[in-house]
Amino acid sequence: MNTIWAQGVSRKLMTAGLCVLLAFGSSACARSVNPETGYKTGINDPLEGMNRGIFAFNNIVDIAIIEPVAKAYNFLLPSFFRDGVQNFMHNLRSPLIVGNQLLQGDLKGAGVATARFIINTTAGIGGLVDVASAQGLPYEPEDFGQTLAVWGLGDGFYLVLPIVGPSSLRDTGGMVADGLADPVRIWAHDTDNDWIYYTRVGVEGLDTRARLVRAVEDLRANSLDYYAAVRSAYSQKRQSLIRDEKAGDSASIPDYDNN
Amino acid sequence: MRIALALAALALLAFATPVLAAKTDGSPAAQFVQGLGDKALTSLTAKDLAANVRAQRVRSLLRENFDIQTIGRFVMGNGWKTATPAQKSQYMSLFEDMIVATYTKRFADYSGQSFKVTGSSAVSDSDSLVKSQILQKDGPAVMVDWRVRKKDGGMKVVDVVVENISMSLTQRDDFRTVLNDKGVDGLIEVLRQRAGKPAGK
């Protein structure tokens, strides 16, 4: 147990080092803030051609397979069941969330995540019921990509991953690191039950996609350039997660009449 | 190792202070948004409403309560600087039509959601951010923030932020590609096609 956990952490550090090297190798790590909006200026997307191709592919697969499955999931299963699935998945993420909060120096966040894990695993029947939220301890997603951002690493550039979808150089590295350090994966691997880990990844993906059905339909129908709209939404979401979604941080809209 | 982890977890619990539920305050901005939400739900969501009646109601609610000039100009980004007055006016008219069409369809699909303002805070001299939730019967609540600006003696919405994603900023990034590829005329043309209008001046 001791050495396996330590191995996970050292792998995380190695991946972090790799990310740092890669990010320095790519241009424009830290982007300037647009004075009009307060948000980082236009997302760095030097691989736009390739990204659009992968995005188009993802869209085909999504419309053909993933979206119908997500809609069926929403239609067939009652919401309390689907909430239970999400709560369980969130709970499994606790070790990674606590770890990343600590790496970011967010002791309060780590404390809340720890309390959530204990309360939801016990009173919440193995994590199925999110008792902690009702106690004023909300879920706060954290991942290694956010940690790297807090440490000052720019996102490098926008990257659309096959099937997985929008990401960035930094966040992809972060996902890999989290995957390697994930106790669930390590346990499944060590007990020769990798299928448990893959099933979990699949279910987590389904839960996320199912919750986004309306938003995606809306964006597809109403955007002029669906690729650009998704890229923008992704970038804003990541920036807000990195800042821990503090109030009043949204884009500021200029006052044209008084300027 | 296990004991060390357990002790560390116990230590961390000391930092777990619960988040107090936000009080609904009676600030003018919060009341404005609550009023807008109530008006929208009563006048826009009836199932048997004719499409053009619904669209007309959406348009008047929009003009009354949203600063369409500011939003449209913001969304156009750098295109505004190079657009002629004629282009600007065509764009603004098509932009408004597009929003009306989008929201008419959304309200037609309404299925029992309810709307609750949960708090507000001033973010600048003129702007407040009003937090609200859209509660669905079958699914989690959606966080929607409204950026409200004091204007002309009243209040107008200048941005809608859904789950921390600004709709105005997203649209601006969306339009930018079209502007870069096709220019202002190209953008106007795309908007015209969206509205199902014939190509022309």
DSSP three-state, residue B134: strand
**Locate tokens 């902690």: which residue?**
A132
Q: Name the pLDDT band for A25 (thresholds 50, 70, 90).
A: very low
pLDDT at A16 over 60: no
pLDDT at B25 over 80: no
Tell me what the mean pLDDT of segment A130-146 comes to.
93
Q: Name the pLDDT band for B107 (thresholds 50, 70, 90).
A: confident
CB contacts < 8 A (A, B): 139
Q: Looking at residue A14, what is its pLDDT?
A: 61
Q: Name the pLDDT band for B200 (thresholds 50, 70, 90).
A: very low
| Summary mean pLDDT of chain B | 87
Q: Given an 8 Å threshold on Cβ–Cβ distance, is B174 in contact with A223?
A: yes
Buried b (16+ CB within 10 A) or exposed e, A152-179: ebbbbbbbbbeeebbbbbbbbbbbbbbb
Q: Residue window 81-120, chain B: list those with CB within 8 Å of chain A.
A: 102, 106
CB B168 within 8 A of CB B158: yes
When scoring B170, B180, B181, B191 by the number of chain A Cβ atoms within 10 A, the one with the most, hence best to mutate, is B170
What residues in B contact A237, CB-CB < 8 Å? Answer: 163-165
Q: Name the pLDDT band for B199 (thresholds 50, 70, 90).
A: very low
pLDDT higher at B196 or B59: B59
Q: Given an 8 Å threshold on Cβ–Cβ distance, is B166 in contact with A236?
A: yes
Nearest Cα neighbor of B19 from A139, A241, A92, A129 is: A139
Cα–Cα distance measured from residue B15 to residue A101, given in angstroms and rounded to the nearest whole number: 12
DSSP three-state, residue B92: helix
Q: Given an 8 Å threshold on Cβ–Cβ distance, is B159 in contact with A251?
A: yes
Q: Looking at residue A1, what is its pLDDT?
A: 46
Q: Computed from CA positions of residues B111, B117, B122, B127, in that sequence, does the dihedral angle turn out positive or negative?
A: positive
Q: Given an 8 Å threshold on Cβ–Cβ distance, is A252 in contact with B127?
A: yes
Q: Poorest-confidence range of B48-52, B102-106, B127-131, B197-201?
A: B197-201
- Look up the pTM and report it: 0.85
Q: Looking at residue A24, what is its pLDDT?
A: 45
CA distance B75 to chain A (A): 10
Q: Name the pLDDT band for B51 (thresholds 50, 70, 90).
A: confident
Q: Residue window 133-172, chain B: list those with CB within 8 Å of chain A.
A: 138-140, 145, 147, 149, 151, 158-159, 161-166, 168-172
